[in-house]
Amino acid sequence: MATLTYRDALNQALREEMQRDPNVFLMGEEVGVYQGAYKVSRGLLEEFGPQRIVDTPIAELGFAGIGVGAAMAGLRPVIEFMTWNFAVLALDQIVNSAAKILYESGGQVPIPIVFRGPNGAALQLAAQHSQAWESWLAHIPGLKVVAPATPADAKGLLKSAIRDNNPVIVLEGEMLYNIKGEVPEGEHIVPIGRAEVKRPGSDVTLICHSKTVAVSLRAAEQLAEHEGASAEVLDLRSLRPLDEAAILESVARTNRAVVVEEGWPQSGIGAQVVDVIQREAFDQLDAPVLRVTQADVPMPYNKQLERLAKPSAERVVAAARRVLYLD
């Protein structure tokens, strides 16, 4: 199995899917000549030509709308946003067109489109460019939302997203593009809607996705080392649909949970996970479920403040200690 970066795993998925299906094309800012702001589309213009690797003006609403139209006409567009912070401008096309057309056409017009790009904070990009949008997007019926944390999941989920006949949001991460991991070659598919235990444990479940998976794995190591507590790390991978069965199975084993996410606390993904747990696993709980989120403020630019505002392994450990009644 080859070791690839997250960006190259996405590149591999795009290339393989474009080779497999001539209806697949990639469109977005700087995806062609510049080969992607984060080099995800490296080499694709050369291989597939400007008809299938389409550079656009800085007009998110416009090219998202072209994508939806292309999908209506039977193509399978992949729309890249340079960051999801810019995609706010395209939300009307995503929410009001892509997510609604199958429903409003009485099931006649499927919209097989992928909207992808980096989500959440990187380093010192300040309040407007450091936002995690998953709870906004997962809120919408008609959309599927995935947030891979590893190169293998990035490849497998992007392939699933491209093949899906519904609009799928793929949330990547600027801080994830460089991470490396083993990626199966060729036909590697990760089904949408399946969480994965990234580290088995017995005392508390750390439920996470995307960048917070690495945070949770570090927290699990610290808990094992300093507290002798065995934490299970459950990577949601898909946020809509949510793998409720995997959440409940893990909580049934550990009886305690902490939900970790990059977004703000109010109405976050963690709130949804906690709802599932309290509703379906009430009798399995030995402690209230706690959440670790970004601080409930616009992301500070100051480096130290930014570090404190983000979910960290230390904060996950502190929350785990509280649900384990170690404090």
Partner 1 sequence: MATNVYMEALSPTMEEGRVAKWHKRDGDAVKTGETLAEVETDKAVMDLVARADGVLRQVAVAEGQTVPVGSVVAVIAAPGENVSAPSATPPPGPAGKGKRETGNAAVATAPAPVTVTALSAPPTDATRVKASPLARRMAKETGVDLKLVTGSGPGGRVVKKDLERAPTTAPAATFPVSRFPFPDRPGAPYDDVPLTQIRKTIAKRLATSLGPIPHFFLTTEVDMERASEARDALNKQLGDRGKVSFNDIVIKATALALGTHRACNAWFQEDHIRYWNEVHIGMAVAVEDGLITPVIRSADLKSLGEIGREAKDLAEKARYRRLQPNEYTGATFSVSNLGMFDIDQFTAVINPPEAGIIAVGSIVQKPVVLDGQVTARRRVRLTMSCDHRVIDGATGAAFLQTLKQMLENPLAMLL
Amino acid present at 290: L
Nearest to 112 by CA among 53, 64, 155, 70: 70
Rounded-to-integer distance, Cα 61 and Cα 51, Å: 20
Rounded-to-integer distance, Cα 6 and Cα 224, Å: 28
Q: How many residues touch partner 1 (CB under 8 A)? A: 8
Only segment of 13-21, 190-198, 280-288, 309-317 that touches partner 1 (CB under 8 A):
280-288
The verdict on whether 30 is a catalytic residue reads no
Structure tokens at 55: 């550079």
Half-sphere exposure of 200 (CA within 13 A, CB side): 2
CB of 226 or CB of 279, closer to partner 1: 279
228 binds partner 1 (CB under 8 A): no
Torsion of CA 291, 294, 297, 300, to 10 degrees: 160
Ranges assigned E (strand) in the chain: 2-5, 24-28, 53-55, 76-80, 114-118, 144-146, 168-172, 180-183, 196-199, 204-208, 231-235, 238-240, 257-260, 290-292
CB of 198 or CB of 256, closer to partner 1: 256
Only segment of 43-51, 183-191, 281-289, 307-315 that touches partner 1 (CB under 8 A):
281-289
Only segment of 120-128, 178-186, 278-286, 301-309 that touches partner 1 (CB under 8 A):
278-286
CB of 178 or CB of 202, closer to partner 1: 202
Catalytic residue among 16, 17, 29, 60: 60
User: In residues, how long is the chain?
Assistant: 327
Q: How far is the CB of 201 from partner 1 (least distance, A)?
A: 16
Cα distance between the two ends of the chain: 43
The site string for partner 1 over 229-268 (x = CB under 8 A, - otherwise) reads --------------------------x-------------
Residues in 282-301 that interact with partner 1 by CB under 8 A: 282-287
The verdict on whether 60 is a catalytic residue reads yes
CB of 106 or CB of 325, closer to partner 1: 325
CB of 182 or CB of 286, closer to partner 1: 286
- Which residues form the interface with partner 1 (CB under 8 A)? 255, 282-287, 325
Active site residues: 60, 129
